[in-house]
Structure 1
């Protein structure tokens, strides 16, 4: 990787033939989803990253208590643990995930926030042992976030498994080093359904890719690997 100041980012997804990524209703066989996990493991990544909505089922539900009066909590990164073998990273700019603990199985949780979150929420995260990094004042600077993940936690390789908007934001910022897609044998056809990449606001610049490999996998999945032409 040319930029050693940040992790190598692999966008790993299961889209339909028409590029949709909401799998509910597809009725894919269990072996198909098992292929997704098996191919992900081949990258031996240090961390995986998804957005708030996708992370909610993993985070669980807990109550964010009102903090007792005291000095304001400084908007400084909080590191609960930095020696985990693997990390689960949530992009949660507004601080809405109500974590039950600071880990998902054996993976330590890192949540990415903006400085607009409340002191109550920061105290809640500290109490749960959830590490947090600030990615910006009002919005997330993804390049800054990746640099922090590398510097603070030593993350060298990251699986990006986000929704279309998150993937689109990484694509627009030219922060995807490899695209790994398992094309499902499904034609979705859902108008307005999130796609593999959705760039908000305006049409994103087209990114040209180079095909690295093609492989047929179990369940009639097709594993395509690309790298961007830079």
Structure 2
């Protein structure tokens, strides 16, 4: 199957979600100290581009180095900002999306390279943070009152931004929340020739003690430079308990 062939949207009006990750053979995802990690990173980015997605999504901690450290404006007695979605740039060629429930990212601009920045919040974020995002030209979507509802967010990404194909590239908890919500359609795993073995190191998925056990169908397996193995799976049974909320 060609990586660029399918541009179809996912189920029920949401994007087609590909979880694209570069784990060790034992499923660890923190690459610090791995041999030849630069080769893994370069090959990972090549595949990221080849998958032809409209957007990629990660969590707050992973996005922080990209967003920057801009200061928040001072508090002031200004009018309350409505808890409605704000789209700073419609019809962007691609989007970089962060899940940031409490509004902690300090965006320096509304773009990461050529990709428009979008952040997903809960309604509990303060007014001055919403004004900060508007001033920076960062789009924001509300994913829930107190917690982020993953399926609802995916519906907004499709309806509000026209995203049809989304790369999920988060940490174990973010990936686990998508897994638990039953919204991952495909896995793209660039397996590194490393056995990590570290106790407590984040893994590919962390969906809790009784996470869903999904059945997968192998689409392809390809040897890549540096003894890397690119494996793609289609998720066969995506139904899962509705607890996929970070």
| Residue number in structure 2 paired with 1:98 | 106
Q: CA deviation at 1:43?
A: 1.4
Matches within 5 A, 1:70-85: 70-85=78-93
Q: CA deviation at 1:38?
A: 1.3
Match of 2:230 among 206, 223, 229: 223
Q: CA deviation at 1:29?
A: 4.6
Q: Does 1:20 align with 2:28?
A: yes
Give RMSD over aligned pairs: 1.1
CA distance in 2, matches of 1:166, 1:141: 12
Deviations 1:73-110 (A, max 9, x none): 11110110012101000000010000000100110000
Matches within 5 A, 1:1-230: 3=11, 5-200=13-208, 202-230=209-237
Contact 1:67 1:119 (8 Å CA) reproduced: no
SS for the counterpart of 1:95 is: coil
Q: TM-score normalized by structure 2?
A: 0.90
SS for the counterpart of 1:30 is: helix
Task: Please list every run of 5 or more consecutive structure 2 residues that lacks an aligned counterpart in the other structure.
Answer: 1-8, 238-246
CA distance in 2, matches of 1:196, 1:209: 15
Deviations 1:165-210 (A, max 9, x none): 000110111100100001100111110100000013x321211111
Task: Please list every run of 5 or more consecutive structure 1 residues that lacks an aligned counterpart in the other structure.
Answer: none
Q: CA deviation at 1:35?
A: 1.2
Deviations 1:42-62 (A, max 9, x none): 211000001000000000101
SS for the counterpart of 1:219 is: coil
Count of equivalent residues: 229
Following TM superposition, the consecutive aligned residue runs of length 4 or more in structure 1 with deviations greater than 3 angstroms are: none
Q: TM-score normalized by structure 1?
A: 0.97
Contact 2:216 2:236 (8 Å CA) reproduced: yes
Contact 2:179 2:212 (8 Å CA) reproduced: no
CA distance in 1, matches of 2:13, 2:204: 26
SS for the counterpart of 2:66 is: helix
Q: Which 10-residue stretch deviates more, 203-212 or 12-21?
A: 203-212
Contact 2:118 2:140 (8 Å CA) reproduced: yes
